[in-house]
Amino acid sequence: MRCRFKIAVLILLPMLFTGIALGSISLVFAQGNDPRTITDDQVNAVAKQLYCPVCENIPLDVCPTQACAQWHELIREKLAQGWSDAQIKQYFVDQYGDRVLATPPARGLNWLVYIIPPLVILLGVYLVYRAVSAWRQPVLPEAGDDALQVADNEYVRRLEEELRKR
């Protein structure tokens, strides 16, 4: 009888440990594949694209207010429900207007934000080019400058005479 007990223990014990190991592994995989688990990085990726509707000029991902904490949770819920980044941004635009977007849409007068800076840069480069070209060209005396040159020459001649006397 003792021999049968040892054999049963030797057979059942490894089976028991195998079952426990497989059960714990399946729990780990079940937790890792849960589509509703939304990380802070995923929430912040959406929040970086939005500005706080309450505070002025503060991105939603760094805003310390209680309202922003609630909006973070709202983003987390929407992501868990399967909403895309664009749908979440559109939800906030519908609620608070275009001012919550970090990048304004290129419609209406907002398109000027995309056009004016490159035009100003090009104009600045052109003006610098013109200024440098003008500085490199020698200045030629004009016909009206003869009287000025004669006066300058007279002044230089008198100055040299005074210096020689000493």
What are the residue boundaries of the structural domains of the chain, listed by start? 1-34, 40-103, 106-138
pTM of the model: 0.48
From first to last of its 166 residues, the chain has per-residue pLDDT tens of 555 656 655 665 566 566 665 555 554 444 443 445 888 888 888 888 888 877 777 888 888 888 888 888 888 999 998 888 889 888 988 888 877 887 777 677 767 777 888 899 999 999 999 999 888 887 665 655 555 565 677 888 888 888 888 7
By percentage, how much of the chain surpasses pLDDT 90? 7
Structure token pair of residue 134: 């003008």
- Assign domain 40-103 to its CATH architecture: Orthogonal Bundle (1.10)
Structure token pair of residue 39: 């990380």
How many CB atoms lie under 10 A from the CB of residue 136?
7
Residue 8: CA count within 13 A, CB half-sphere: 5
Instruction: Please list, residue by residue across 49-71, b when 16 or more beta carbons sit within 10 angstroms of its beta carbon and e when fewer do.
Output: bbbbbeeeeebbbebeeeebeeb
> How does pLDDT run across 50-59, given as a tens digit for each residue?
888 777 778 8
